Structure 1
Amino acid sequence: MDMKTGEMSGGCPFNGDGGTRGLLGRTNRDWWPDALNLEILVSGGKSADPYGEDFNYAEAFNAIDYNALKADLTALMTDSQDWWPADYGHYGPFFIRMAWHAAGTYRTGDGRGGASSGQQRFAPLNSWPDNGNLDKARRLLWPIKQKYGKHISWADLFILTGNVAIESMGGPVFGFGGGRKDVFEPETVYWGTEEQWVNEGVATRILPDEGKALENPLAAIQMGLIYVNPEGPGGNPHDPEGMARDMRETFARMAMNDEETVALTAGGHAFGKAHGAKPADNFGGAPESEHLALMGFGWLTDKDEIGKGHITTSGIEGAWTPNPTQWGNDYFRLLFKYEFELVQSPAGANQWQPIDQEEADMAPDARDPSKKVPTMMTTADMALKRDPEYRKISERFLNDQAALDDAFARAWFKLTHRDMGPKARYLGPEVPSETLIWQDPVPAGTTPSDAAVAEFKTKVLASGLTVGELVKAAWASASTYRNSDHRGGANGARVRLAPQKDWKVNDPAELAKVLAKLDELRGGLSMADAIVLAGAAAIEKAAKDGGYDISVKVTTGRGDATEEHTDATSFEPLEPLADGFRNYLKTKASVKTEDLLIDRAHLLGLSIPELTALVGGMRALGAVSTHTQHGNRIGVLTDRPGVLSNDFFVNLLSMNTEWSVVDDSGDEEFLGKDRKTGEELYRATRTDLVFGSNSQLRAQAEAFAEGGGDKTFVETFVRAWTKVMDADRFDIA
């Protein structure tokens, strides 16, 4: 375990016992084995999207009456429903929490989580303990969603509602960008290996005394939490150092620095209250486990509890400020004005209460404004006063309201938009004009003429650079793309910049040589276009050498990013610890190497045929990494590397070859010998042999290796290659 990075031995981004369980953790079927299983209806590639493949959400969103939608949301804030009355007569704090928890699952490690697809509607998120009673918030929004229909996705509606909530209570907002398209089934995300939720005896994921760090790519400190346990590490309120440590680590995993962490904590807690009116064992289960008659509601004893105010979510009870529906600086004022004592809520949770609090600083009762009740702070809130670095920031915000306003507005915007990717994907009239560094800006490019492209390709093929070198450089540039948060990709040519140019997977010395030559030859082309076009030229040559006359039609018009456009630190999580397409493995991981290949293919948005064709094609082209524990050229199962052929599949599936483990490889490297003569033929890895051993992947390999399959392979490879090269071209989607 690396205590600095939180990675398990081998740098694996997934802990576990290997295989699917190690890669995915527990699935919805594990948590709720009696839940209705709809998987049979989406097997075979059948879509669950009721709008169909031709639905254009951007067009639908742009046609909405945006001002009318915001007016309806504003009215909803104070239109208290009898079935679920609003605290203080205002739903704003409730909707802020809904939006925050929709976005707050985002993590930088793999870009998954976040608000971009409306996953809070589905298990497991809809039933996480930290999302308690947000089922009611979503149901309060249903009449508005019903009114505007497909013109506003649930994913966009969650975030826009949070913005409107802040505005309706006088708070600052930086802007809003729409464009989040809903999905209609749970996404596959690794949330951890635990078999219990928080508050069920589960230990914190960080235990320095036991050498346990927060596992990559996880960000929450315990299963079922968005961030940290507000009562303290593992529920312990007497560990201030641990509380600050957990907050700093988890917020950093979600792309927030110390100032943003303080601003978000204080800004979010300027509104509303926590709920711990009764012990949690008085209430029913989460939505996924409840009776059909409750219609998707959870956390209730029975339907008569709705509207009674007996609400328990975190178990902590009370408001942070005396004005829970008004933006201001009361949070910091009270935090520093009073000393606090540890008390327990009616639900038995640990929380902190001001000592000898003045009545003027007390909060109104959530249901009876004529009553006054003490305010409170959680152990997490107390960290903003106890931790030296957090305290400096908090004291500055205490004395500078304008600074807090700006910091909170920007941090909220980042929280709710970080997973949307570049600004080009944003829709709507409230998209801020300012471009932010975390949006990975790229200057506009210029589309070259066909003649300029043809001339450049000719120069490249006469440059002395090999097919494998050109293909690897293009792949290194484009394959950083993640469809989880739409970061990475070829646009901007950040493969020329730190940290990407120095990643071992990219064979830095070879990459530098290739990029220098392309820079020399490119003329008026951007480097981003030059890298991709050079890869296309190499593949066209390789295909021609194999007897196929094809054209690799990648788009052009990319721009070149500079160091000023690049937050180098934020790109570090994009470094692949394994890239099965280039047969790269930095070091042995705690899950099977082939699982990491599948995970990477998922982030690239590839189908099984596309995955298979790319692996076989990269091997045939000799485009494998030399900077890996496997050594040079492993998995290149052909005697004509650099030719686009189906040789990899033909030779992998040959019955004349017998495979065995190389003894000192840790079950990672294999030797292929001629069955009759014992002559060594090939060396391969797990990511090679899985295409012969796994029945589904073998079926794909057989289709490419059979008579006539070579044409199918080449067509699939070119289609998949183009898909990866153009994955980040949101302007052409």
Structure 2
Amino acid sequence: MDAKTGEMSGGCPVHGGSMRGLLGRTNRDWWPDQLQLDILTQSGKSADPLGEDFDYCEAFNALDYNALKADLTALMTDSQAWWPADYGHYGPFFIRMAWHAAGTYRTGDGRGGASSGQQRFAPLNSWPDNGNLDKARRLLWPIKQKYGKHISWADLFILTGNVAIESMGGPVFGFGGGRKDVYEPETVYWGTEEQWVNEGVATRIRPDEGKALENPLAAIQMGLIYVNPEGPGGNPHDAEGMARDMRETFSRMAMNDEETVALTAGGHAFGKAHGAKPADSFGGAPESEHLALMGFGWLTDKDEIEKGHITTSGIEGAWTPNPTEWGNDYFRLLFKYEYELVQSPAGANQWQPINPDPEDMAPDARDPSKKVPTMMTTADMALKRDPEYRKISERFRDDQAALDDAFARAWFKLCHRDMGPKVRYMGPEVPSEDLIWQDPVPAGSTPSSGTVSDFKSKVLGSGLSVSELVKAAWASASTFRNSDHRGGANGARVRLAPQKDWAANDPEELSRVLSKLDELRGELSMADAIVLAGAAAIEKAAKDGGFDVSVDVTTGRGDASQEQTDAESFEPLEPFADGFRNYLKTKADVKTEDMLVDKAHLLGLSIPEMTALVGGMRALGAISKHAKHGNSIGVLTDRPGTLSNDFFVNLLSMDTEWSVIDDSGDEEFQGRCRKTGADKWTATRTDLVFGSNSQLRAIAEVFAESGGEQKFVDTFVKAWTKVMDADRADIAMAKYRG
């Protein structure tokens, strides 16, 4: 939110002025000497050693789950000399590992999170906030090696965190497996900064400058999971700013105030922070260290490790007197004492209770016979200083059962928010309760082929146009994000708030189309009716173009209710730009063609699939009515509603020259006949890029050339079906349900 205008900053998903702006700094920028393996994954070559045919869900089903949990429980107190366990228990260390694996999730684009084991790779493995978690992952290696393909690193991170909580008496709501590892860094925009958090970079929120937290980012500074625990920009006296930063960044990760308080208090009930010496006393991050360290970074000196001279956040000390036991000491101490500002041995700002009672002091992490003061961070103090956080904190202080339940549920949400619908969860500890943030959809029923055929006939005779039917189906299905498996056609949430009112969906037209489909659908669910109507329209459009195709979308979808829909959580899915429909809400810093590529990535599309869909949607006239210079912009055909390759033929024609429409802000263009100067077509950036970008042009030429018509139609239908069925996890997972 812009502090001056009240608008979301830029209104767009990401900032910058190019694809570099869309991606931010890459691993190659941060570590130019890093071994580059990209050349070996060109031409579609996979980096996955298990191969495309490996079925992780099948492998997970064969896992000895109880044996794995027993081994993890034993590991908690099996302290290793090369990295001794604080207080003789690795539980707090593994909770931090799991938290930081899951905590990168953000609602803005669904990216981040624990679902693919990305913490193993740069840049996350070398973020300052992930300091020394390289050791946590190595402690797990013998167990990962033992169970092999039956447990992914992604699942192991989260399950280990659960076992850690259980081993210290904490509450756990459940666990769902099914996260599949990747074997190379994923492309995620983490921000534009040229420096990490510990190099003096200011907070991303600066209200005095009208600067808001940039979408889709959730962390307050580069290299952090959430906020700077010392305070905004390291300022411990900015109590209001600390609460503001916490509230904003946690909400960007799908957490409300109660969940924020429960997670903060619950996580800090365990373990300690580390700031024994100045950070510059130790080495660099894993990705920058010498080969001989074998992927270790930061602290590797044996003597320092043995003494417990460990620094990660720079803050030093435990929050409670019982750092390996679940309880309510965190809130008891927070409200029992007044706190004074002190500095850790590493020079970090932190808060210490004034004149603590001996029983309220913590044991030394290496020598239990010694007692040391507890501490609170500036972020912890916000739970006492901020009025809303304080109300929740006082309630939890006085009601242990409420804290137990709130923490267990918030931890489960933190660790599973990016997994999508519950049908994707596997294992014996999946909770039976349906949670609204899982976007529940009632089970549907599969209609007969006769029912489907009759419905399609009715739709084609209803008076609804090809364009209208295709747009409604796209509006329903194209919300899907393969980052967190949210959105999609299942549930027909396009007829519910907030989706029914999104400008990109042309609400008035959509309402009329949905009303008619509801009238015609009979026993079909609305979710199936919308998708089948789109399929019928494309089949007709292809036939009109001389092609006999079958658009074989699946059926059996259910219809969600408004009560099953957390409307607020769906707001980040609203398209700011949708190049497939030629929709752009308003001009942004990021080029519209970059945003088209970003959306295609979230839909799981290949470059040819993206290209075919854009050309096909234009030919079908399935574009937004919100184009500045008319709703025919970008169509580039004299027969809209017919599935043809006209878009590519006319776009690449040497008879046309293009120029910017003066008042379009370099977004819309006029095509004129080179010979006569007469106006021919209008187009947008996301149209012309298929002629100007050499790689996209090469694909567009295949679709435009003589004999390429069938290839275009086939690619379009394949890509369309892929989008319509992208969210059918219920079908994909059915074979694992016995």
Task: Tell me, yes or no, whether TM beats 0.5.
Answer: yes
Q: TM-score, normalised by structure 1?
A: 0.99
Q: Secondary structure at the match of 2:672?
A: strand
The RMSD of aligned alpha carbons is 0.9
Give the corresponding residue for 1:2: 2
Q: Is the 8 A contact 1:612 1:701 kept in 2?
A: yes
**Are the counterparts in 1 of residues 579 and 686 from structure 2 also a CA contact under 8 Å?**
yes
SS in structure 2 at match of 1:582? coil
For 2:466, the aligned partner's letter is V
Q: Quick one: distance in 2 between partners of 1:423 and 1:680?
A: 53
Corresponding residue for 2:27?
28
Inter-partner Cα distance in structure 1 for 2:729 and 2:458: 29
The answer to whether the 8 A contact 1:108-1:255 is kept is yes
* Superposed displacement of residue 199, structure 1: 1.7
Residues 1:613 and 2:612 aligned together: yes
Structure 2 residue aligned with 1:13:
13
Report what 1:544 is aligned to.
Answer: 543
What does 1:373-452 align with in structure 2 at a 5 Å threshold?
Answer: 373-452=372-451
CA distance in 1, matches of 2:384, 2:301: 41
Q: 2-side partners of 1:463 and 1:75: how far apart? A: 66
The answer on whether the counterparts of 2:656 and 2:674 sit within 8 Å (CA) in structure 1 is: yes
Q: Which amino acid aligns with 1:252?
A: S
Q: In structure 2, what is the equivalent of residue 142 of structure 1? A: 141
Q: Which residue of 2 aligns with 1:700?
A: 699
Mapped partners of 1:630, 1:362: distance in 2: 70
User: One-letter code of the match for 2:487?
Assistant: G
Secondary structure class of the residue paired with 1:82: coil
1:19 to partner: Cα distance: 1.0
Partner of 1:191: 190
Deviations 1:230-256 (A, max 9, x none): 000000000000000000000000000
Partner of 1:681: 680
What TM-score, normalized by structure 2, do the two folds share?
A: 0.98
Deviations 1:571-602 (A, max 9, x none): 00000000000000000010111000000000
> Is the 8 Å Cα contact of residues 583 and 635 (structure 1) preserved in structure 2?
yes
Q: CA deviation at 1:707?
A: 1.6
2:111 is aligned with 1:112: yes
Gaps spanning 5+ residues in structure 1: where?
none
Q: Which moved more, 1:225-234 or 1:619-628?
A: 619-628
Q: Name the CA shift for 1:695/1:44 in 2 (closer, same or farther; >3 Å).
A: same
* Distance of 1:629 and 1:320 partners within structure 2: 57
Question: Does the CA contact (< 8 Å) of 2:275 and 2:344 recur in 1?
Answer: yes
Matches within 5 A, 1:195-206: 195-206=194-205
Q: Which residue of 2 aligns with 1:72?
A: 71
Query: Does 1:624 pair with 2:636?
Result: no
In the TM superposition, residue 8 of structure 1 has moved relative to its aligned partner by 2.7
8 Å contact kept, 1:467–1:642: yes
SS of the residue aligned with 2:657?
Answer: strand
Q: 1:454-492, CA deviations, whole angstroms, 9 ceiling, x for partnerless residues?
A: 000000000000000000000000000000000000000
| Residue of structure 1 in register with 2:364 after alignment | 365
> Where do residues 123-134 of structure 1 align in structure 2 (5 Å cutoff)?
123-134=122-133
Alignment of 1:93-112 (within 5 A): 93-112=92-111
- Alpha-carbon contact 2:82-2:302 (below 8 Å) kept: no
2 CA distance for matches of 1:693 and 1:428?
A: 50
Residue aligned with 1:158, SS: helix
Report Cα offsets for 1:48-78 as digits up to 9, x if no partner: 0011111111100011000000000000000
CA deviation after TM superposition for structure 1 residue 20, in Å? 1.3
Distance 1:454 1:575, change over 3 A: same
Separation of aligned partners in 1, 2:31 and 2:444? 50
Please name the residue that 1:597 is paired with: 596
AA aligned to 1:545 is D
Deviations 1:502-557 (A, max 9, x none): 00000000000100000000000000000000000000000000000010000000
Contact 1:585 1:630 in 2 (8 A): no
Tell me which amino acid in the other structure corresponds to 1:427. M
> Secondary structure of 2:199's partner?
coil
Q: Residue 299 of structure 2 corresponds to which residue in structure 1?
A: 300
Moved more, 306-315 or 69-78: 306-315
Counterpart of 1:267, as a letter, is G
Alpha-carbon distance change, 28 to 630 in structure 1, aligned in 2, over 3 angstroms? farther
Q: In 1, Cα distance between the equivalents of 2:198 and 2:157?
A: 27
Letter in 1 for 2:216: P
2: CA distance between counterparts of 1:633 and 1:175? 52
Alpha-carbon separation, structure 1, partners of 2:57 and 2:300: 42
Give yes or no for contact 2:69–2:163 (8 Å, CA) kept in 1: yes
Alpha carbons of structure 1 residues 303 and 295: separation in structure 2 relative to 1, 3 Å? farther
Cα separation, 1, equivalents of 2:630 and 2:445 = 40
Q: How big is each residue's C-alpha offset from its partner over 1:431-464, in whole Å with a ceiling of 9 and x where there is no partner?
A: 0000000000000001000000000000000000
Query: Residue type matched to 1:425 in 2?
Result: R
CA positional deviation for 1:306: 4.5
Alignment map for 1:31-46 (pairs within 5 Å): 31-46=30-45
What is the CA–CA distance in structure 2 between the aligned matches of 1:282 and 1:369, rounded to whole Å? 26
CA distance in 2, matches of 1:345, 1:628: 57
| Aligned pairs for 1:201-280 within 5 A | 201-280=200-279
CA deviation after TM superposition for structure 1 residue 5, in Å: 6.8
Residues 502, 78 of structure 1: alpha-carbon distance in 2 compared, 3 angstrom cutoff? same
* d(CA) in 1 for partners of 2:628, 2:364: 63
User: Helix, strand or coil for the counterpart of 1:684?
Assistant: strand
How much does 1:732 deviate? Answer: 2.5
Query: Contact conserved, 1:586 with 1:628, CA < 8 A, in 2?
Result: no
Q: Give the equivalent residue in structure 2 for 1:512.
A: 511
**Post-superposition offset of 1:302:** 4.4
CA deviation string 1:281-310 (max 9, x = no partner)? 101100000000000000026466454422
Q: Counterparts of 1:137 and 1:533 in 2: how far apart (Å)?
A: 50
Measured after TM superposition, the shift of residue 329 of structure 1 is: 0.2
Deviation at 1:322, TM superposition (A): 0.3
Alignment partner, residue 528 of structure 1: 527
Any conservation in 2 of the 1:587–1:629 contact (CA below 8 Å)?
no
After superposition, the C-alpha distances for 1:69-98 in whole angstroms (9 at most, x for unaligned) are 000000000000111000000000000000
**Counterpart-to-counterpart distance in 2, 1:706 and 1:21:** 33
Distance 2:638 2:7 in 1: 42
User: What per-residue deviation string (whole Å, max 9, x for no partner) do you get for residues 24-49 of structure 1?
Assistant: 11100110011000010111111000
Contact in 2 for aligned 1:77/1:92 (Cα 8 Å): yes
Give me the whole-angstrom Cα distance separating, in 2, the residues matched to 1:31 and 1:464: 57
- Deviates further, 391-400 or 299-308: 299-308
CA contact (8 A) 2:9 2:213 kept: no
Give the residue type in structure 1 aligned to 2:516: K
Identity of aligned residues (%): 87
Which residue number in structure 1 is paired with residue 312 of structure 2?
313
The answer (yes or no) to whether the contact 1:554–1:722 under 8 Å persists in 2 is: yes
Distance 2:595 2:566 in 1: 26
Q: CA deviation at 1:731?
A: 2.3
Q: Is the 8 A contact 1:478 1:489 kept in 2?
A: yes
> Match of 1:497, as an amino acid?
L
- Give the secondary-structure state (helix, strand or coil) at the position aligned to 1:230: coil
Change (3 A) 1:6 1:309: farther
One-letter code aligned to 1:8:
S
Deviation at 1:629, TM superposition (A): 3.5
Provide the rounded CA distance (Å) in 1 between the counterparts of 2:189 and 2:589: 15
Deviation sequence 1:612-670 (CA, Å, 0-9, x none):
00000000000000024453111000000000000000110000110111111110000
- 8 Å Cα contact 1:6/1:214 also seen in 2: no
- Equivalent residue, structure 1, for 2:736: none
Kept in 2, the 8 Å contact 1:457–1:533? The answer is yes
Matches within 5 A, 1:146-157: 146-157=145-156
Deviations 1:113-155 (A, max 9, x none): 0000000000000000000000000000000000000100000
Q: For residue 597 of structure 2, give the secondary structure of its aligned residue in structure 1.
A: helix
Once residues 209 and 650 of structure 1 are traced to their aligned partners in structure 2, the CA distance between those partners, rounded to angstroms, is 52
Cα distance in 2 for partners of 1:147, 1:279 equals 38
